[in-house]
């Protein structure tokens, strides 16, 4: 049964930010398992659906940043993404990874309706984005910030209190965020939808 995240969980991440090393991981791995990973697994199980917690080590093969550990621990319950870090508990969902034809449909549909949905949701909007306008769109387009996005995620963060984040607060935050994201997910389902490409070709090339 999920019992919340104690102050120990957030202290672990604060110390990690000061010492992101393999030695720190070796010294505190059991603490991370007990205070961070196990409570996150319990939370995801209570939220329902298929769930998974991802590994703590970073993939360094193609990164200039050689810090070995992620500064957050995260997973998903169904389509809801949940992460715990020194800054609190984050929950969100939306369009995480897109194929070129999904991006084309998304950009063709961006308009006042999506702006109104995002404004009304009261969520932080995040996701990977181009540094400049996508091909075929002017840089001064009134919705250029949305058009530059290659993914669209709505979410919110609950900061920890002095004693951490309790069971009811964590579950309430995750469920409330999921509810607030429903209009975004409905818009994406209606206007973007799943990829129509074969699985083996979906992410071979990244669209602009």
Tell me, what CATH number does 108's domain have? 3.30.1460.10
Answer whether residue 73 is part of any domain.
Answer: yes
Enclosing H/E stretch for 80? strand 80-85
Q: How many domains is the chain built from?
A: 1
The whole-model pTM stands at 0.91
Percentage of residues in the chain having pLDDT higher than 90: 89
SS3 of residue 84 by DSSP: strand
Mean pLDDT of 35-54: 97
Helix residue ranges per DSSP H, the chain: 7-18, 22-32, 38-47, 100-109, 112-121, 144-147, 167-191
Tokens of 205: 């090339």
Mean pLDDT of 199-208: 41
Answer whether residue 208 is part of any domain.
Answer: no
Neighbours of 63 (CB within 10 A): 9
Q: Cα 78 vs. chain centroid, distance in angstroms?
A: 13
Answer whether residue 44 is part of any domain.
Answer: yes
Answer whether residue 117 is part of any domain.
Answer: yes
Q: What is the pLDDT of residue 198?
A: 58
Q: List CB contacts of 70: < 8 A, sequence separation 6 or more.
A: 56, 57, 58
Q: Give me the domain span that covers residue 183.
A: 4-201
Lowest-confidence pick of 11-20, 79-88, 166-175, 199-208: 199-208
Answer whether residue 206 is part of any domain.
Answer: no
Mean pLDDT of 112-116: 97
Distance (Å, whole) CA 206 – CA 82? 25
Answer whether residue 116 is part of any domain.
Answer: yes
- ∠ CA 59-64-69, rounded to 5°: 40
User: Could you tell me the sign of the dihedral formed by the alpha carbons of 93, 156, 13, 129, in that order?
Assistant: positive
Lowest-confidence pick of 76-80, 137-141, 162-166, 202-206: 202-206
In the structure, what pLDDT confidence band is assigned to residue 204 with cuts at 50, 70 and 90? very low
């Amino acid at each position: 049964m999920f019992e919340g995240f104690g102050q120990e969980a957030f202290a672990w991440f604060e110390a990690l930010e000061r010492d992101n090393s393999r030695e720190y991981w070796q010294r505190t791995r059991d603490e991370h398992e007990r205070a961070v990973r196990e409570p996150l697994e319990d939370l995801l199980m209570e939220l329902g659906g298929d769930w998974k917690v991802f590994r703590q080590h970073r993939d360094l093969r193609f990164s200039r940043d050689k810090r070995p550990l992620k500064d957050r621990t995260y997973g998903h319950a169904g389509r809801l993404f949940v992460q715990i870090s020194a800054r609190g508990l984050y929950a969100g969902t939306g369009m995480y990874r897109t194929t070129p034809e999904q991006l084309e449909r998304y950009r063709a549909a961006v308009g006042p309706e999506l702006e109104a949905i995002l404004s009304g949701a009261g969520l932080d909007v995040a996701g990977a984005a181009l540094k400049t306008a996508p091909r075929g769109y002017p840089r001064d387009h009134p919705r250029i910030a949305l058009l530059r996005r290659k993914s669209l995620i709505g979410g919110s963060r609950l900061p920890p209190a002095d004693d951490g984040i309790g069971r009811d607060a964590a579950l309430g935050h995750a469920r409330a965020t999921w509810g607030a994201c429903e209009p975004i997910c409905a818009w994406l389902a209606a206007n973007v939808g799943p990829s129509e490409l074969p699985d083996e070709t979906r992410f071979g090339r990244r669209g602009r």
